[in-house]
A = this chain, B = another copy of it.
Amino acid sequence: MLAVEQKKKKYLNLSYLIRPKSIALVGASANKSKIGGIMWSYLQSFPGKKYPVNIKQEAIDGAKTYSSLTDIPEEVDLAIIAIPAKNILSVIDDCIKKNVKAAIIISSGFSETGEQGRKLEDEIRNKISNTDLVVLGPNTLGVYVPSVNLDSMFVVREKSKRPSSGPIAYISQSGASAVGFMDMAECHHYGISAFIGLGNKLDVNENDMLELFFNEKDTKVICMHLESIVDGHRLLKLCKKITPFKPIIILKAGRTEAGAKAAMLHTGSMAKTSQVIDGAFKQVGVIKANDMLELFDYSRILAYQKPMFGPRVAVVTSGGGYGVIATDYIEDSSVGGGLKMAELSAHSKLKLREKLPSFASVDNPIDLTGNVTDEMFDYAFKVVNEDENVDGVLAFPLIQTPLTTDKLIDITEWWFKNGKKPMVPCIIGGSYSEEVIRKLEALEVPVFPDIRRAVLSLRVLYERGKYLMKVKKKGKFKFRKVSELL
């Protein structure tokens, strides 16, 4: 096979990681308290063909069990491997013999544990180097694709829920934090198109994932939690191609020297210095996240809200105190990053004055006061959306006040989705507020329980808007499939 042909075939095989027709689980077990047992039971919801492989050929829940991959009479698209590291090599041989398209090595005990594990990875890499088999991992949770009911994760669902289907591709080099992330995602109705755990990146890496999800039409936003970068040059080239069409958010952990050392201990890979990466990312339109919560917030606001094409924010609140803190964050460049408070037009102020109580503030931040009604919120949202001096809206639709009702949920949803200007809602409080937040999130309206997080998310919408205007000016909106760039 020619090198270029093999490359293209390998590229095509990536899609079998998330859309296989048939799966074999090597290391499947009848024991539900073992990893191979948990995984086999979760794979039952996958509608395609499933083959348990087990060297002892124990019967598993009545399914015919195979002692090796090569014993399976039909085609296997995806082999998921969960057996001790020392036994992996022969399974890889079997994958190649069997012409398996993609393999996921769940097992740990590789480069993250030292020299011997690194050697084992090298051997696998050698074995697959002249083939089109793609290998994800090792040392990974694998994949989770809600739209096709594919779940290779061995963490039990009672303790760690799975998010529903949605527009965000989530790629992570860290397993435990991916568990926390997806559990949080489920809780907030944050929908994902797929989760991919990169693990030690023996073969498949972040660049392959960018290629894959650029062409996946269900994916609107790509977010990645990385601890190392395999090929920075290619990463930047890919991001440059993709970001005009799909936002990319990257958490690159290991920013500090000590953090980079910790990352090396964790996944066995060395991080680059932070400043170089930050600057390069910015140039190619990548949104930077500093932690998982930022990755979470930025990806969901970019998935569900339009970009902001100017820096001027109108704040609509019924609590003056929130307005003051929001103003501070918006105008503080270390948080707002260039956002500023909009100067409302005289016309807007007049219109607000007409319908609001005399003690309400019609200057920005607009303070509707504790006497606010649902209708006043609706009216204020209308006025700021029509004001040409306003580029985006920070809203505090608080339902604690005596005269507001659950109708405010619908009003907030309507303006979030239909307003001319992007709007970010912020609701602060306890269990009652959390119920309101969950209701809005179920309507695909992300809500922020923290003023700083809300302002940072507005900033990200503005960064996205600025970037889109920049690439538009340069005429870079010509769509080319990533496969054409190979």
Chain B residues positioned under 8 Å from A310 (CB to CB) = none
Question: With a CB–CB cut-off of 8 A, which chain B residues contact A232?
Answer: none
For residue A109, CB closer than 8 A to chain B, the reply is: yes
Is the CB of A254 closer than 8 A to any CB of chain B?
Answer: yes
Q: Given the complex, which residues of B lie within 8 Å of A358, measured CB to CB?
A: 113
**Complex interface: chain B residues within 8 A of A154 (CB):** 402
Is A465 among interface residues, defined by CB-CB distance under 8 A? no
Known A-B contacts A159-B432, A179-B400, A430-B186; the reply to A173 vs B259 at CB < 8 A is: no
**A184 and B428 contacting across the interface, CB-CB below 8 Å:** yes
A432 in contact with B183 (CB, 8 Å) = yes
Query: In angstroms, how far is the closest chain B Cβ from the Cβ of A369?
Result: 8
Is the pair B160, A429 in contact by a Cβ cutoff of 8 Å?
A: yes
Query: Would you call A421 an interface residue if the criterion is a C-beta within 8 Å of the partner chain's C-beta atoms?
Result: no
Could you tell me the distance between the alpha carbons of A439 and B112 in the complex, rounded to whole angstroms? 34
* A156: interface (CB < 8 Å): yes
Tell me whether A330 is interfacial, beta carbon within 8 Å: yes
B176 & A327 in contact (Cβ 8 Å cutoff): no
Number of this chain's copies in the assembly equals: 2
- Name the interface residues of A214-246: CB closer than 8 Å to any CB of B: 225, 227
Asked if B320 and A176 sit within 8 Å, CB to CB, the answer is yes
Q: Please tell me if the beta carbons of B430 and A184 are within 8 angstroms of each other in the complex.
A: yes
Chain A interface size, as a band, is 35 or more
Bound together, the chains give a CA A428 to CA B294 distance in angstroms of 13
**Bound CA span A267–B363, Å:** 14
Chain B residues whose C-beta falls within 8 Å of the C-beta of A267 in the assembled complex? 320
Q: Closest B residue to A108 by CB, please name it.
A: B359
Q: Is the CB of A429 within 8 A of B180?
A: yes
Q: Does A325 reach chain B (CB closer than 8 Å)? A: yes
- A328-343 contact mask (Cβ, 8 Å, vs B): 1 or 0: 1111101000001100
Tell me whether A180 and B262 are in contact (CB under 8 A).
Answer: no
Q: How far is the CA of A430 from the CA of B434 in the complex (A)?
A: 13
Across the interface, do B187 and A431 meet the contact criterion of CB distance under 8 Å? yes
Contacts A159-B399, A160-B400: A187 and B367 contacting too (C-beta < 8 A)? Answer: no
Is A57 an interface residue when CB atoms closer than 8 A count as contact? Answer: no
Q: Which A297-341 residues have C-beta < 8 A from chain B?
A: 317-325, 327-332, 334, 340-341
Contact present for A263 and B174 (CB under 8 Å): no
Given contacts A176-B320, A266-B320, contact A428 B361 (CB under 8 A): no
A-B contact pairs, 20 of them (CB 8 A): A113-B358, A155-B401, A173-B321, A175-B370, A176-B322, A177-B319, A177-B321, A178-B321, A180-B428, A180-B433, A183-B432, A187-B429, A187-B430, A253-B328, A254-B324, A254-B328, A256-B332, A258-B327, A259-B328, A291-B451
Known pairs A159-B432, A180-B398, A227-B324 / 17 extra A-B pairs, C-beta < 8 Å = A109-B359, A113-B359, A155-B400, A175-B321, A176-B398, A178-B321, A180-B319, A181-B428, A183-B432, A185-B430, A187-B434, A258-B328, A259-B327, A265-B363, A290-B452, A291-B452, A334-B334
